[in-house]
A and B are shown apart, each in its own frame.
Chain A
Amino acid sequence: MQKTFTVENPTGIHARPARKIVEAAKAFAGDVFLEKAGNRFSAKSLVKVLSAGAKQGDSVSVVAEGDGAEAAIDAIGAVLVSQESH
């Protein structure tokens, strides 16, 4: 399954939110991906999440399958739409 979110953080998905995304993804057993503009990035790698270069206003889909996928997607989505800075 997948859900699409709009990045709300004014400075984009920088180090801190990226870390929160990876933490949320690692809590899930299966694969989790971010998709942005047709490109796919593993949500379990900080490097990959940063490479997505998601900025405020960007549309990002979170993709995961299996047990607990929805919870993982929602947890990551919450970070994507969070405004918290630093």
Chain B
Amino acid sequence: MGARLNGTPASSGIAIGYAKVLRAETESSEIRKIDPAQAEAEASRFDAAVASAATELEAIRAKLLGEGKTHEAEIFEAHAFLLEDEELVGVAREKIVAESYEAASAIRETAQEVAEVLGALDDPYLRERSADVLDVGRRLVRLLRGEQSVGAKDGADEGASSEGRMILIAEDLTPSETAGLNASAVAGFATAVGGATSHSAIIARSGGFPAVVGIGAEIMTIRDGQLVVVDGGNGVVLVDPDAAVLAEYEARREADSGRQAAYEAYRDRPSVSAEGVRVELVANIGSAADAKGAKRKGAEGVGLFRTEFLFMGRDALPSEDEQYEAYREVAETFGADAPVVIRTMDIGGDKELPLLELEKEDNPFLGYRAIRISLDRPEMFKTQLRAILRASAYGNVKAMFPMIATLREWRAAKALLEEAKRELSGQDIPFNPEMETGIMIEIPAAAMMADRFAREVDFFSIGTNDLVQYAMAADRMNPKLSALSDPFHPAVLRLVDRVIRAAHEHGKWVGMCGEMAGHPLALPLLLGMGLDEFSMSAGAVSRARWLLARLHQDRLRDLATAVFDADDAAEVKELVLREVPDLREIV
């Protein structure tokens, strides 16, 4: 007879094991005092503990950095920063010197006071930072008592029996405890408190530990040795499940772990279909930093660089040099041959830029945005075009115009680009005169006119997020309309197919940079239609490459036509699943 507990999904995956319940040491709130004559010596002992803690944190940080976990490393960098904080360490030291506190009592009380202040904030993200303060406090208390560090204490001696790995059950785990978890002993964890943005959750995700947090006090009713299933993706914890349920979760766990490893193996392979058709699997990025992460995750280039983030949240427009540096950095990250498609700024819609003093609109998505603004401000636009051109001397950079509806807009934008080229030539500034220039297809009008555009542009990139919203007349921000905002509607697929055919008839390539491009169910359809480039969030690249290697373009052509006759998105997905049954496992 099993129990089912629900919490917040913190780190996906299935973990099965025997419970190991960690009861928080009852932290005595008792304040111990020392002989005032000893205060200076106690303060020195405290200073030594702070120094040791800094050394420990630096070691953890270096280890995480060595594993390429930069985000996790930063958490401990922040902890090191707290060690220098007057409000924490300075106040605690003052309690020792002025009030004769024992060092451990001083830091414990101060950390609790600070954590209370942070815990009272109304922002859940900041509230969780109180866990970081308490963690730093506990580290110091532990060092003052002369105990070993959590990270140094390997779980290998406990729990890693033939029975399998254990599931940690705790009121809460500090980031240090989570980072110190030994994967050979611990399968996953479940906690009473915490949220999805807690540092423990982040570390669990990067370490691949399935975890459910925020279950509530109920979780502490679990006893050591009870069989526990943690379904991290769904935020469910099962205690003593019956045999049939357990078998089901075991099967899911096996499938999961095999799949992740299989995807990983495709990170650095070429992007080819089963019969050897080559496509490009590239990433959508918003900054030069994103580019580095995308390359690490296996993207072979950039299909969409959203440059508007360079413009947002600042007092003045970015200069030509500043933009050029950012574009060049991305081009150089991927090397001379990898494609990098830089989209000119797409301000408007949901992305505001107070600097431009645009009027409020009733329908911003149908309003004054992107190329419509750029063409009205030729100096601002040409500054960006010159920066993109200059970066084209350093890699396979391509320029792309967003929100093109008419041939006139495309030609006006292209004319300004030619003007920018002439200016650069006149100044002897290097650029690639053959730089490819294309347009986003995200407005149905442009999709319908794709055959005309295809004569003049070098490429298309289909932006499905907006194309779906405009084709279905369904605001993609409105959750009530999510059934309509589905790229699998046959109407959308017909538009996509029309664009691909138009491009190919004129010998041009065509990509896609909406969320659809990374969707496993869309890949067979788009491959069957002949899409050349798939641009997605970097995290989806390996999986797409794995899937691609299992698909035959030739055998998918009929499917890609058959879906046009489906009634709706649901039927399209059913058709894809019937054709590629293996997909059932991964969607």
Which residues, 126 to 151 on B, are CB-close (under 8 Å) to A? 126, 129, 132-133
Distance in angstroms from B245 CB to nearest chain A CB is 38
> What's the least CB distance linking A22 to chain B, in Å?
7
Q: Which residues of B contact A16 (CB under 8 A)?
A: 74, 78
Please name 17 pairs of A and B residues whose Cβ atoms are closer than 8 Å in the assembled complex, sorted by A.
A12-B126, A15-B74, A15-B75, A15-B132, A16-B74, A44-B86, A45-B86, A45-B87, A46-B82, A47-B85, A47-B114, A48-B87, A50-B118, A53-B122, A81-B314, A83-B312, A83-B313
Residue interface bits B46-88, CB-to-A below 8 A is 1, else 0: 0000000000000000000000000100110110011001111
Contact in complex: A8, B312 (CB < 8 Å): yes
Which of A16, A44, A45, A81 counts the most chain B CB atoms within 10 A? Answer: A45
Instruction: Name the B residues within 8 Å of A53 (CB-CB).
Output: 121-123, 126
Q: Is B117 an interface residue (CB 8 A)?
A: yes
Give, as a whole number of angstroms, the nearest-CB distance from B77 to chain A: 8
Shortest distance in angstroms between B315's beta carbon and chain A's nearest beta carbon? 7
**What is the number of residues of chain A that contact chain B, defined by CB distance less than 8 Å?**
24
Q: With the chains together, A83 CA to B252 CA distance in Å? A: 39
Bound CA–CA A31/B71 (angstroms): 31
Nearest CB to that of A45 among chain B residues?
B87
0 or 1 for each of A1-43: is its CB under 8 Å from B? (1 = yes): 0000000110110111001001000000000000000000010
Complex A-B, nearest 3 residue pairs according to Cβ-Cβ distance, in ascending order: A8-B313, A83-B313, A47-B87
Contacts from B to A (Cβ < 8 Å): 71, 74-75, 77-78, 81-82, 85-88, 114, 117-118, 121-123, 125-126, 129, 132-133, 287, 309, 312-315
Report the nearest B residue to A7, measured CB to CB. B313
Binding site for B on A (CB under 8 A): 8-9, 11-12, 14-16, 19, 22, 42, 44-48, 50-51, 53, 55, 81-84, 86
- The CA of A84 and the CA of B290, in the complex, are separated in Å by 11
Q: How far is the CB of B130 from chain A (nearest CB, A)?
A: 9
Chain B residues in 8 Å Cβ range of A55: 123
Decide: B133 and A81 in contact? CB cutoff 8 A: no
The answer to whether residues A82 and B313 also contact, given A46-B81, A47-B133 and a CB cut-off of 8 A, is: yes
Name, among B77, B81, B309, the residue most crowded by chain A CB atoms within 10 Å (CB to CB).
B81
B88 touches A47 (CB 8 A): yes
**A39 to nearest B CB, angstroms?**
12
Q: How far is the CA of A74 from the CA of B87 in the complex (A)?
A: 24
Which residues of A are found within 8 Å of B81, using beta-carbon distances? 19, 22, 46
A19 CA / B123 CA spacing, docked (Å): 18
Complex contacts, A83 vs chain B, CB 8 Å: 309, 312-313
What is the bound-complex CA distance between A82 and B78, given in angstroms? 19
Q: Which residues of chain B come closer than 8 Å to A82, judged between CB atoms?
A: 313-314
Q: Which residues of A contact B75 (CB under 8 A)?
A: 15
With beta carbons under 8 angstroms apart, the residue of B82, B88, B125, B132 that contacts A12 is B125
Are A51 and B314 in contact (CB-based, < 8 A)? no
Which A residue's beta carbon lies closest to that of B129?
A: A50
Contact of A14 among B88, B125, B312, B315 (CB under 8 A): B125
Q: Report the Cα distance A22→B118, complex, angstroms.
A: 17
Specify which chain B residues have a CB less than 8 angstroms from the CB of A14 in the assembled complex.
125-126, 129
* CB-based contact A11/B125 at 8 Å: yes
Other A-B pairs, 6, CB within 8 Å; known A16-B78, A47-B82, A84-B287:
A8-B313, A9-B313, A15-B78, A46-B85, A48-B87, A50-B121
